[in-house]
Structure 1
Amino acid sequence: MTVTVVGSFTPSVLLDLAASTGQLREHGLDVEEVPVSSSPGQFRSLLDDELHVALTSPDNVMAYRFSPANPLGALADVRIVGAVDRGMGLGLYARPGLGRDDLAGARVGVDVPTSGFAFALYALADALGTSRDDYELLTLGSTPRRLEALLAGDCDVTMLNAGNELVAEAAGCVRLAGVERLGAYLGTVVAVAGERHLPEAEALVAALLATGRDVLEGRLDAEAAAAAAARLDLTPDLAARYVARMRSATEGLVPDGAVDRPALETLVRLRTTYQPVPAPGGGDVLDAALDEDSGLVHPR
């Protein structure tokens, strides 16, 4: 069996469960999960075939497929194969002692300034009355790295999710706003470059969906809590909260793996607001992402 290399920002509890319950094996997969340090690094590795499949933000896929202003400066045949979750608690967090009125002048950590989570951060800050020009941006890489920076006092505010936000809350950090304020949202998708690893990506989506159904229907509570505690270094209480969040209809797992148009519209609106790129015929290059035949979402 060929090893499929999957790149993720935060260790995936769902992927761990798919392995431990035998779903990966049933779908013909032997998966090696490797951490990625940033979204540009993830997609560079995906295009270089160092990664076969990515667990990533759908905004990243849109950027590398449609926008020449992406960090790699080139368009690529990347596509979404299936949706995984709706953000898993994604929100704007401040270090202990800071509040909504302290955003002006704050040191704000992002993956890179043009990532999907960064755009969501700008929108939430705007909603709280602080414009992008009023705080200092720090490029810090993946979500676990930003959590470390927040807890160490190396940044004042950042976007956190996928269990990292629970650790932050336990340490006294303050949730200033959640991504649900922005409308329908997708946090994580399965993505692939080209067609070489498309079969593995489709098999992975199927395995994750089967595992997700067991989580949503309460058949893996103990196993999911144990995986969350081990993979994300959570206390039992925080691990239980993580499992509850997996079952959330607004923040948790996407039961059918479908990429819904309202969520894509939210992501397009964020990117065209904070990094508009005019299209030759008018409008924005990201407008094409909403076309049914754009190729952004692989038909299932």
Structure 2
Amino acid sequence: MATTVRLGSFTPSVLLRVARHLDPALDVTETLVPSSPAQFQALYAGAYDAVLTSPDNVLGQPRRVEMLAAIDRGMGLALYGRGELRGARVGVDVPTSGFAFAMYALAESLGVSRDEFELITLGSTPKRLQALLAGDCDYTMLNAGNELHAEAAGFTAVARVSEVCNPYLGTVLAALDPAPVAAFTDRMVETAGAIVDGKHDELVIASAMEALRLERPLAERYLRRLKDPEEGLVPDGVIHATALATVAGLRRRFA
């Protein structure tokens, strides 16, 4: 029996592509969202059955949204850019989103407060990557393969979430109603565990090359990041209280 799911995500999910390859019964339509507010507007409107999103987005919702599984610990989430951060133009999804809150903490770790740079609202991570490459912002938060493109273009990470905000929860699978997506949730968690165990390396590399437009050396780095215990996939899908507390603490501190 096929499992049909409409999924809203920010960056094309390699985990999803591997899960679909392993289980052809998964009928999942992935739609890339332009921003966090747009993602949840579409979820509430019934356009999605589930979303891959920051847990902070769930914590900040006025309606009840359930976090079904932990997906990753940030996937290399870091502040990328060039030049002086103080006075720079810093691209964010929206100023009151989870990645923005983490960015404020990273900036403070570098001795720069949030009122010492200009915030530019740019939307999803792929959009911010393109803005950084085009020179439309000086710094932004990147992860999930987007940061590999930035590094290939000569940008560097000036501060990493895994070093400043550890333990961290980067992505969760969430839904208004968990029942219709229960089988899908199980497949995603099982696939994450198998990837961390090294069972599908070539499939992951091929999926990353196709979905994220990465050359093989970068796709191999992406695979290593998926397996990283500090930044990669959560193989059992458990949402640990300490990691969620980090996200909630950033919201309390900067919201």
Map of 1:237 onto structure 2: 217
Map of 2:63 onto structure 1: 76
- Contact 2:3–2:183 at 8 Å: present in 1 too? no
Map of 2:17 onto structure 1: 16
Matched, 1:225 2:205: yes
Deviations 1:82-141 (CA, angstroms, capped at 9, x unpaired): 10000000000004xx2xxx1111000000000000000001001100001100000000
Q: Displacement, 1:3?
A: 3.1
- Contact 2:69–2:189 at 8 Å: present in 1 too? no
Q: 1:153 aligns with which of 135, 141, 147?
A: 135
Q: Displacement, 1:78?
A: 0.6
* Cα distance in structure 2, aligned partners of 1:269 and 1:212: 27
Q: 1:140 aligns with which of 118, 122, 147?
A: 122
Matched ranges for 1:54-73 at <5 A: 54-64=51-61
* Cα distance in structure 1, aligned partners of 2:187 and 2:121: 34
2:60 is paired with a residue whose SS is helix
Share of identical aligned residues, percent?
A: 52
Q: Displacement, 1:168?
A: 0.4
Q: 1:53 aligns with which of 47, 50, 54?
A: 50
Deviations 1:39-68 (CA, angstroms, capped at 9, x unpaired): 00000000110111000000000000xxxx
Q: Displacement, 1:2?
A: 6.4
* Cα distance in structure 2, aligned partners of 1:186 and 1:204: 20
* Cα distance in structure 1, aligned partners of 2:31 and 2:131: 21
- Contact 1:185–1:267 at 8 Å: present in 2 too? yes
- Contact 2:208–2:214 at 8 Å: present in 1 too? yes
Deviations 1:23-47 (CA, angstroms, capped at 9, x unpaired): x62xxx4110110000000000001
* Cα distance in structure 1, aligned partners of 2:149 and 2:180: 33
Q: 1:89 aligns with which of 57, 76, 99?
A: 76
Q: How many residues align?
A: 253
* Cα distance in structure 1, aligned partners of 2:227 and 2:179: 28
* Cα distance in structure 2, aligned partners of 1:149 and 1:128: 23
Map of 1:122 onto structure 2: 104
Deviations 1:190-248 (CA, angstroms, capped at 9, x unpaired): 0001x3xx223322221011111221111111110000010000010000000000000
- Contact 1:185–1:264 at 8 Å: present in 2 too? yes
Deviations 1:157-216 (CA, angstroms, capped at 9, x unpaired): 0000000001100100010011011121011100001x3xx2233222210111112211
Structure 2 unmatched runs, 5+: none
- Contact 2:104–2:114 at 8 Å: present in 1 too? yes
Matched, 1:255 2:235: yes
Tell me the C-alpha RMSD between the 2 structures.
Answer: 1.1
Structure 1 unmatched runs, 5+: 65-74, 276-300
Map of 1:4 onto structure 2: 5
Amino acid in the other structure paired with 2:18: L
Q: 1:106 aligns with which of 81, 84, 88?
A: 88
1:11 is paired with a residue whose SS is coil
* Cα distance in structure 2, aligned partners of 1:244 and 1:201: 28
Q: Displacement, 1:269?
A: 1.0
Map of 1:184 onto structure 2: 167
* Cα distance in structure 2, aligned partners of 1:191 and 1:46: 10
* Cα distance in structure 1, aligned partners of 2:53 and 2:219: 22
- Contact 1:5–1:31 at 8 Å: present in 2 too? yes
Q: Which structure has the larger Rg over C-alpha atoms?
A: 1
* Cα distance in structure 2, aligned partners of 1:154 and 1:18: 36
**TM-score, normalised to structure 2's length?**
0.97
